[in-house]
Amino acid sequence: MTDKNPKGDLVRKLTLTAAIMIVAGSMIGSGIFRKPSVMAEQLGSPELLIFVWIAAGLITLIAVLVNAEISGMIDSTGGQYIYFRKMYGDFTAYLYGWSILSVIQTGSQAAIAYVFAEYLGYFIKYPQLPQSWQEFSIFMPLVGNIYPFVDFGTKSVAILCIVFLTTVNYLGVLFGGFVQTIVTYVKIVTILLITFLIVLLGNGSLSNIYTGFAIPESTSKNLLSLIGLAFAGAFWAYDAWNNITFVSGEVKNPRRNVPLGLIYGTLIVILVYVLINLAYLYVLPIDEMAKSPLVAASAAEKIFGSNGGMIISIAVIISTFGALNGSILATARVPYAMARANLFFHSLGKVHPKYSTPHVSLMVQGIWSCILVMSGSFDTITDYVIFASWLFYMLGAYGVFILRKKMPDEHRPYKVWGYPYTPAIFVIFAFFFLMNTIISDTSNAMMGFILIGAGLPIYFFWKYKDKFKKN
What share of the chain has pLDDT > 90, as a percent?
Answer: 22
First-to-final CA distance of the chain = 44
Distance between CA atoms of residues 289 and 280, nearest Å = 8
Computed from CA positions of residues 311, 312, 314, 315, in that sequence, does the dihedral angle turn out positive or negative? Answer: positive
Which has the higher per-residue pLDDT, 406 or 387?
406
The CATH architecture of the domain made up of 16-465 is Up-down Bundle (1.20)
> Which letter does DSSP use for residue 102 in this model?
I
Q: How far is CA 357 from CA 178, 273, 350, in A?
A: 15, 33, 8
Residue 382: pLDDT band with limits 50, 70, 90: low
Averaged pLDDT, 193-215: 83
The pTM assigned to this predicted structure is 0.79
Q: Look at residue 3 in the predicted model and tell me its pLDDT.
A: 46
Q: Is the pLDDT of residue 52 over 90?
A: yes
Q: Look at residue 1 in the predicted model and tell me its pLDDT.
A: 42
Q: Is the pLDDT of residue 384 over 70?
A: no
Q: Is the pLDDT of residue 216 over 80?
A: no
Q: Look at residue 2 in the predicted model and tell me its pLDDT.
A: 42
Name the amino acid, one letter, at 258: V
Q: Is the pLDDT of residue 259 over 70?
A: yes
Averaged pLDDT, 453-469: 77
Name the amino acid, one letter, at 182: I
Distance of CA 343 to the CA centre of its chain: 24
Residue 383: pLDDT band with limits 50, 70, 90: low
Model confidence pLDDT, tens digit, residues 409-459: 888 888 888 889 999 999 998 998 888 878 877 777 777 778 788 888 888
Q: Look at residue 141 in the predicted model and tell me its pLDDT.
A: 62
Q: Is the pLDDT of residue 4 over 60?
A: no
- Looking at every residue in the chain, the average pLDDT score rounds to 84
Distance between CA atoms of residues 350 and 354, nearest Å = 12
**Cβ neighbours, 10 Å, residue 75:** 20
- Give SS3 for 406: helix
Q: Look at residue 258 in the predicted model and tell me its pLDDT.
A: 86
Helix and strand totals (H; E) in the chain = 22, 2
What are the residues whose beta carbons fall under 8 Å from the beta carbon of 157, sequence distance 6 or more? 116, 117, 120, 121, 124, 126
Do the beta carbons of residue 331 and residue 99 sit within 8 Å? no
Residue 255: pLDDT band with limits 50, 70, 90: confident
Which has the higher per-residue pLDDT, 293 or 326?
326
Model confidence pLDDT, tens digit, residues 156-190: 999 999 999 999 888 877 777 777 788 888 888 88
Q: Look at residue 143 in the predicted model and tell me its pLDDT.
A: 56
